[in-house]
Amino acid sequence: MTIVRLGFVAMSVNLKNCSPSQTMTYAQFQRLKDREAAIEKLGRISASNLENCLRIIKHNAGHDIQFFRFSSKLIPLANHPEIKDFNYLRTLREPLHELGNWVSKTKMRVDFHPDHFVLLNSPKPEILNTSLRTLSMHEALLRGMNVPHEHRCVIHVGGAYNDKEKALEQFIHNWGFVPVKIQNMLMLENDDTTFTLQDTLYLCEKLAVPLVFDYHHHLANHEKDSNWSRHWDRVAASWDHSSLPVKMHISSPRSERDFNAHAEFVDPELFMSFLSEIKGSVPQIDCMIEAKQKDDALFQLMEQMCSFPEVEKIDGASFLLK
């Protein structure tokens, strides 16, 4: 028996005027003559993003959805090197607290997935530093919400830099410069062009980091004759020391031609074929749906899953695999 929970990413297509990712570019910021007013505006946009994020959390709770990925754009320009005087943690103390209270009250599993510019394996110190700044911002937001930081932030391995083996070793080298708190916050995901499941497992086992298996990425990028299920026990084992259930990503190719892009919805057959292979191997698995139609893709999959005989609905977006 395995419990399966579904989650979705960042925003709801059902809630109107509810973007958690409103923004201000640095170019816009600079155009404002009054710096103090510009920083106040950053605060107002951030507060509105957090308020909208809270609306989404409540919407989730109302639909028994217990898994959600925060937008990484909650705080515009949060780690811009020229705007160090924007003390967003202090400015947003209250709304962060409230958001965190609701997360804890609704027992929502929340995490982050910073964009692909966070590159811990970069050979350039300045890019590593920028990446660490971005990760610190994510850690600070979790702290502001009183959400335990452990295993709340998933990233990719990074660039290949013309030599994949060397790039993997560079990751291990750079890991030594990553503060322990940030190390503990991270999970690693196999990607769709460079680092396969096996590459990522190598790092996860070496560095004791949980692996987030992306099934779609695996289909797009794997070794010859690679059968993911042969490695599944290792994936599950990477979560042995986590207080959180195993996490994975699911999405479907947009088309054969545009294989790596995410489709509007998730193909239930593809998803179920995955689930039947891992059934019983772990007590619980949380599946993050990465589809263009966000929560609507989740709602559709929820409906479709009920038609499979081995699936029993617990409530909302939680199921039992028999």
Partner DNA sequence: CCAAGTCAAGTCAGA
Partner DNA sequence: TCTGACTTGACTTGG
- The residues of the shown chain that bind DNA, judged by CB under 7 A, are 10-11, 19, 21-28, 45, 115, 117, 119, 122, 124, 127, 130, 158-162, 194, 260-262, 292
d(CA 309, CA 319) in angstroms, rounded, equals 12
**Which residue, 148 or 159, has its beta carbon nearer to DNA?**
159
Q: How far is the CB of 119 from DNA (least distance, A)?
A: 5
Q: Which residues are paired to 3 by β-bridges?
A: 284, 320
**Which residue, 4 or 120, has its beta carbon nearer to DNA?**
120
Q: Which residues are paired to 311 by β-bridges?
A: 321
d(CA 200, CA 234) in angstroms, rounded, equals 11
Q: How far is the CB of 238 from DNA (least distance, A)?
A: 24
**Which residue, 22 or 284, has its beta carbon nearer to DNA?**
22
Kind and range of the H or E run holding 287? strand 284-289
Q: How far is the CB of 190 from DNA (least distance, A)?
A: 15
Contacts of 294 (CB under 8 A, 6+ apart): 8, 9, 10, 11, 12, 13
Q: How far is the CB of 278 from DNA (least distance, A)?
A: 25
The secondary structure of the chain in percent helix, strand, coil, rounded to multiples of 5, reads 45, 15, 40
d(CA 223, CA 199) in angstroms, rounded, equals 10
Q: How far is the CB of 130 from DNA (least distance, A)?
A: 5
**Which residue, 122 or 238, has its beta carbon nearer to DNA?**
122
Q: How far is the CB of 251 from DNA (least distance, A)?
A: 9
**Which residue, 107 or 257, has its beta carbon nearer to DNA?**
257
Contacts of 240 (CB under 8 A, 6+ apart): none
Contacts of 281 (CB under 8 A, 6+ apart): 2, 232, 233, 236
**Which residue, 136 or 260, has its beta carbon nearer to DNA?**
260
Q: How far is the CB of 76 from DNA (least distance, A)?
A: 8
Q: How far is the CB of 282 from DNA (least distance, A)?
A: 28
Query: DSSP 3-state assignment of 294?
Result: helix
Q: Is the dihedral of CA 255, 261, 265, 271 positive or negative?
A: positive
Query: DSSP 3-state assignment of 81?
Result: coil
**Which residue, 6 or 11, has its beta carbon nearer to DNA?**
11
Largest CA distance in the chain: 63
Half-sphere exposure of 165 (CA within 13 A, CB side): 0
Nearest to 209 by CA among 181, 242, 177, 176: 242
**Which residue, 27 or 180, has its beta carbon nearer to DNA?**
27
**Which residue, 58 or 241, has its beta carbon nearer to DNA?**
58
Q: How far is the CB of 172 from DNA (least distance, A)?
A: 16
- Which parts of 158-292 fold into alpha helices (H)? 164-175, 180-185, 197-207, 215-220, 232-237, 268-278
